[in-house]
């Protein structure tokens, strides 16, 4: 079962360069086996064209390496905090994709200007606070995860499967690694469209709430009707 997990995580990681979301090694995907309490994640700093399924690193939620010849991604501690706090997610993605990262560097959330955004993410995509100097120095990657968890306290992390970390970049999540990558692709496109829309119309306002609700709930929730019945 864990070999299949490594294969899925390898394939999910390879989707990042395929969709133009990473430069060099600036990204990672993980997926967790909740029953086993083990997740697989990309190794740190290994070129995508050199990756193999067997290179994926298996970790537990205490941060111990279970299996792997490489060191895990430097963002592993962030993934751990998200898995611990968000029990319904099964995959996490971090990239430095250029459009989403531009919003993060600007310290701005991404308003919902249209239906592409509303189809996947309910409301403004948040940009969480800066870490303090102590948080950066003492446990940077863990505290990055905790800052995300702090923001989502009492909020629906399923309805907003994306976040921007100020001056850093985006994280997304989903039911598995592949869905988390899908959300990362959507986030990048939404970030691009929002930036262009603001340039075309500096007085732009978010899409009407009725339209946001219609597009989100026609794909999600009890009365969703988008797509084919399974």
Minimum mean pLDDT among 102-106, 113-117, 185-189, 221-225: which range? 221-225
pLDDT given at position 230: 63
**Per the residue annotation, which of 33, 55, 60, 119 is the catalytic one?**
119
- When pLDDT is averaged across residues 166-175 and rounded to a whole number, the result is 98
Q: Does the annotation mark 217 as catalytic?
A: no
Q: What percent of the chain lies above the pLDDT cut of 70?
A: 99
Q: Is the dihedral of CA 134, 151, 63, 17 positive or negative?
A: negative
Give the tokens for residue 191: 């970030």
pLDDT given at position 62: 98
Residue 229: pLDDT over 90 = no
Residue 223: pLDDT over 70 = yes
The reply to whether the predicted model has a pTM over 0.85 is yes
Closest by CA to 115, choosing from 223, 226, 213, is: 213
Tell how strand 127-128 and strand 162-165 pair up.
Answer: parallel
Q: How confident is the model at residue 222 (pLDDT cuts 50, 70, 90)?
A: confident
pLDDT given at position 96: 98
Average pLDDT, the chain: 97
Tell how strand 127-128 and strand 169-174 pair up.
Answer: unpaired
For the chain, which domains are there?
2-217 (3.40.225.10)
Total length of the chain: 230
CB distance 32 to 83 below 8 Å: yes
Tell me the pLDDT tens digit for each residue of 42-52: 999 999 999 99
pLDDT given at position 226: 84
- When pLDDT is averaged across residues 29-40 and rounded to a whole number, the result is 98
Q: How confident is the model at residue 58 (pLDDT cuts 50, 70, 90)?
A: very high
Tell me the pLDDT tens digit for each residue of 86-96: 999 999 999 99
Closest by CA to 183, choosing from 192, 170, 196, 202, is: 170
Q: Does the annotation mark 157 as catalytic?
A: no
């Amino acid at each position: 079962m864990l070999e299949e997990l490594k294969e899925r995580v390898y394939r999910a990681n390879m989707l990042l360069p395929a969709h133009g979301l990473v430069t060099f090694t600036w990204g990672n995907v993980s997926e967790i086996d909740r029953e086993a309490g083990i997740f697989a994640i990309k190794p740190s700093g290994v070129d995508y064209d050199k990756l193999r399924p067997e290179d994926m690193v298996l970790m537990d939620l205490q941060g111990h390496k279970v299996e792997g010849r490489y060191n895990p991604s430097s963002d592993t501690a962030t993934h751990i905090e998200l898995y611990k706090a968000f029990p319904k997610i099964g995959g996490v993605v971090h990239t430095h994709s250029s459009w989403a990262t531009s919003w993060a560097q600007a310290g701005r959330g991404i308003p919902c200007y249209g239906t592409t955004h509303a189809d996947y993410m309910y409301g403004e995509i948040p940009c969480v606070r800066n870490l303090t100097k102590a948080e950066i120095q003492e446990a940077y990657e863990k505290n990055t995860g905790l800052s995300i968890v702090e923001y989502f306290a009492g909020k629906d992390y399923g309805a907003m499967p994306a976040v921007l970390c100020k001056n850093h970049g985006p994280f997304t999540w989903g039911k598995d690694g592949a869905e988390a990558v899908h959300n990362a692709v959507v986030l990048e496109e939404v970030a691009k469209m929002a930036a262009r829309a603001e340039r075309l119309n500096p007085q732009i306002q978010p899409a009407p709430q009725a339209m946001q609700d219609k597009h989100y709930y026609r794909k999600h929730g009890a009365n969703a009707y988008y797509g084919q019945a399974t």
